[in-house]
Structure 1
């Protein structure tokens, strides 16, 4: 299929140099060729998602391990051997938006094993952020950042393009906006893949929000096509799939099988996975998820079963199983020694449970947690990985994966979800993909679970725990109003009146989302498509340049 027309949005003010370096004629041709070839397959997987969702909404039977692929689960096979730099993945830094230049550079100066270079959960994909983020990756790979080690000696870049639900609004190929992950993956591989391969440092990827083995097959086809176009040996690209969706949990063997030449394993994380239950089954009362702050953690049966199955599956197939990210932040004041040790002990306790379960690594956000967590591995799992931990005693069934935790809905939990949801939208409107709140980093994953729970509790008129109050629009509005009043009274907002409007706007959008008649699949898609926040801030005029 030939490319007839490509339109690229003009560069944002002050990013003209970055635009020129990144969006060369060769890079744009590569992006366009990829989009032209794979657009129909992206449309197909998104259509399949919609059809499956409609079936679940109409009472279709709940998911199960597919009969048609049983032979894959029963066959003897393993993934291709891991390259040397991927064999030890004890502690990665997570949610590192490359558009946050200071944090990205500090991450590359750290002694973490890897850096989740995130264009997805912890990143807001405005046009300026996209260009700056890709430019910073380019500088890191090409050795152009002063004070940062060469790419062969820095932590490995685990490049995380956007998920399939996101669109890149600033490039049209044959009159259509292109899928966000194709833009990210194409630009990352075109400029960086060969240098990463030559240095033994990649290219390595995280793949977000994969829902089926057919989606893994599409990624594998993208890898093969890109390697051929760029003159790289087949199997050079390696990817870790994030099992963030309950449907994907039933197809883990199949996902690894599709990517067996290119697999770096699977990853499990708590909040996107938990939110996917509401996404897929939220209209059913038997799937009401209780207050996440009080009743949802990795020791609850449905999450423990999911993590055990990830570990067993990966190690059976000779590849790595990694855990989620600790979002806790160490206190910044040196005097707060009690608070520092309390956070450290909590993170160590939670992550030791994952190590004992057999994970090969996990992520933290706070750079101060890298060394203590590496020491935890050195003490309790001193080998490079735990591939020898086969978990042969694990027998996870469909019932185990679908068992909802007991517990109710608390007023404090409702308030917390309202706060996180509003503050995430407010951050997004300011071009930020994450924010700090009550000693934690919050991103789109926690925003998803927060707004999903509010929608579900409202949808089922759930009664609050130890109360006769029902979750209603009136109650949600009251809590929104109280949160806005309290927040605007904060000294930071008093000193910066220009920040008040985005907060009020965010509260309005949050109420829109949680009172939708039908569940909004992804909050980031809603913000990007419905509000197109990425357009107006920095573009001097609507003209486009053509290839």
Structure 2
């Protein structure tokens, strides 16, 4: 079997990195990987669409499936034992886009247990960022960065490829753009998989051509969708030889309610800045179920990321206030039984490690299995009470606009009002604005005012003028911000809810042009690959 491969030319300035990564053998491996799994990826994405259509047509709600009840009722099975270097996941550094070399190196030199090496939420997937980021990982794993510890002593790299809804525009196999996560995964595993395995430092993937044993691959699954919360046991069961646990986070999960049920008035989500937190029933039930499920099956349960940023002056009242706020939020998760969570600010690593030490015993809480917890579908689907505020509406607009603006600049996250914002907070922000317009939600500040298209237009213009002063130092920047406001308005006014803001942006002409999407390709290369049947049997 042969595959035709079209590959873009190197991003300007990254010729060496590109040539190091995309060798002839690597391209052949990527072509084989994509040819093997591309149809499966398409099928799964189509099934996801079909599931949404079914829910809309029937007006049904999700529940625990009776067809897989035998998996949930069988108390005997467990996931494979957690590898030594993953047994302590107490504090990881999140949103670490590896193309940002300075932050990546700071994380490598920290005392954190792990680093979320992020090609997803905190990353903008320009070709430059992908090649630079993967090359930086290559350098780190092979100990090429002066002053950093060897990979066996550094925080564990928790590699996070792009989501399945993302495509890589700069590579085609058999005339079709390749799935973004397969591009990321393939390059990472080809170049660093064996070295990480030899150093007991992950990435716990099985690739027989790299001579790595079955069961080496370990993956943490992010439960980011309300539908997935009803299938936690099934997910662990299917991945029982490869599971490093499940992760719960607040904003992508909350946004999934709007994605799946946002057109239904009974699922109107109130102002997230005032009424949505992990103590609310629908989120607490989700976290309790995740911890209970994981620990019963011998898997780690990890929480979300603290996005707050510490002020520079450690003696200031504001520093102590932020630190106290993070401690309060994370102590709630620790008491719920999580084995770890993430922080963005590296300065929070040691205070949070101390918090774990004060309130837990041992490297994890696998021994903590919440008893008497019987989470029901009703609890998982219970919308919190509360209304919509003008402050919350303006905040959501600002986050949504600034995220798009950041993407147009090739950046995956940004700082706003003392915390980091990424695609997860952008998702919930634009989701809420779309839903509030759809249901003409009343402002609790003034019940005579409803969230309408005209109100949002006026507020977007107002916020644009405010944001220009802080974020736009050039005419080019002002033009990008103006474009970002136009794209934001497009998204929140769509008749049908766009499922992912990142998909929308990744396919948008404006982003492709602004990110220097490379229209120059190598001549088509035809490479020989193994048959699909043979490949699937080995991977």
TM-score of the aligned structures, taking structure 1 as reference length: 0.94
SS of residue matched to 1:533: helix
Q: Which residue is equivalent to 2:63?
A: 64
SS of residue matched to 2:2: coil
How many residues were matched structurally? 523
Q: Which residue is equivalent to 2:11?
A: 12
Does structure 2 retain, via aligned residues, the 8 Å contact 1:126–1:533?
no
Give the one of 364, 371, 385 matched to 2:350.
371
Deviation at 1:371, TM superposition (A): 0.3
CA distance in 2, matches of 1:60, 1:38: 33
Residues 411, 255 of structure 1: alpha-carbon distance in 2 compared, 3 angstrom cutoff: same
SS of residue matched to 1:94: strand
Deviation at 1:508, TM superposition (A): 0.4
Pairs within 5 Å for 1:108-187: 108-187=108-187
SS of residue matched to 1:265: strand
Deviation at 1:227, TM superposition (A): 1.8
CA distance in 2, matches of 1:416, 1:538: 30
Deviation at 1:393, TM superposition (A): 1.4
CA distance in 2, matches of 1:409, 1:393: 35
Deviation at 1:536, TM superposition (A): 5.5
Q: Which residue is equivalent to 2:533?
A: none
The superposition leaves residues 499-529 of structure 1 with CA deviations (integer Å, 9 ceiling, x where unpaired) of 1111000000000000001000000000001
Instruction: Tell me if 1:522 matches 2:500.
Output: yes
Pairs within 5 Å for 1:435-474: 435-467=414-446, 468-474=448-454
The superposition leaves residues 173-226 of structure 1 with CA deviations (integer Å, 9 ceiling, x where unpaired) of 00000111111111111111100000000015xxxxxxxxxxxxxxxxxx5xx5
Q: Which residue is equivalent to 2:90?
A: 90
Residues 541, 241 of structure 1: alpha-carbon distance in 2 compared, 3 angstrom cutoff: closer
Instruction: Tell me if 1:513 matches 2:512.
Output: no
Does structure 2 retain, via aligned residues, the 8 Å contact 1:13–1:538?
no
The superposition leaves residues 369-390 of structure 1 with CA deviations (integer Å, 9 ceiling, x where unpaired) of 0000000011101311111101
Deviation at 1:541, TM superposition (A): 5.8
Instruction: Tell me if 1:403 matches 2:382.
Output: yes
Q: Which residue is equivalent to 2:295?
A: 315
The superposition leaves residues 112-134 of structure 1 with CA deviations (integer Å, 9 ceiling, x where unpaired) of 00000000000000000010010
The superposition leaves residues 291-311 of structure 1 with CA deviations (integer Å, 9 ceiling, x where unpaired) of 000000000000000000000
The superposition leaves residues 23-72 of structure 1 with CA deviations (integer Å, 9 ceiling, x where unpaired) of 01111111110110101111110110110111122234111001110000
Q: Which residue is equivalent to 2:195?
A: 195
Residues 523, 502 of structure 1: alpha-carbon distance in 2 compared, 3 angstrom cutoff: same
Q: Which residue is equivalent to 1:412?
A: 391
Give the one of 318, 323, 327 matched to 1:344.
323
Pairs within 5 Å for 1:38-57: 38-57=37-56
Q: Which residue is equivalent to 1:274?
A: 254
Instruction: Tell me if 1:544 matches 2:504.
Output: no
CA distance in 1, matches of 2:12, 2:147: 27
SS of residue matched to 1:99: coil
Does structure 2 retain, via aligned residues, the 8 Å contact 1:127–1:534?
no
CA distance in 1, matches of 2:476, 2:244: 45
The superposition leaves residues 462-500 of structure 1 with CA deviations (integer Å, 9 ceiling, x where unpaired) of 11113110111100001001011122234x53x422211
CA distance in 2, matches of 1:66, 1:505: 44
SS of residue matched to 1:121: coil
Gaps of 5+ in 2: 526-539
The superposition leaves residues 242-277 of structure 1 with CA deviations (integer Å, 9 ceiling, x where unpaired) of 000000000000000010000000000000000000
Residues 478, 141 of structure 1: alpha-carbon distance in 2 compared, 3 angstrom cutoff: same
Give the one of 262, 271, 274 matched to 1:291.
271
Does structure 1 retain, via aligned residues, the 8 Å contact 2:409–2:515?
no
Pairs within 5 Å for 1:476-515: 476-490=456-470, 493=472, 495-515=473-493
Residues 539, 473 of structure 1: alpha-carbon distance in 2 compared, 3 angstrom cutoff: closer
Does structure 2 retain, via aligned residues, the 8 Å contact 1:127–1:535?
no
Coordinate RMSD, CA, aligned = 1.3
Does structure 1 retain, via aligned residues, the 8 Å contact 2:161–2:185?
yes
Does structure 1 retain, via aligned residues, the 8 Å contact 2:7–2:521?
no
Q: Which residue is equivalent to 1:210?
A: none
SS of residue matched to 2:503: helix
CA distance in 2, matches of 1:94, 1:387: 22
SS of residue matched to 1:250: helix
SS of residue matched to 1:340: helix
The superposition leaves residues 310-354 of structure 1 with CA deviations (integer Å, 9 ceiling, x where unpaired) of 00000000010000000000012456x100000000100110111
Structure of higher RCO (CA pairs closer than 8 Å, 6+ residues apart)? 2
SS of residue matched to 1:353: helix
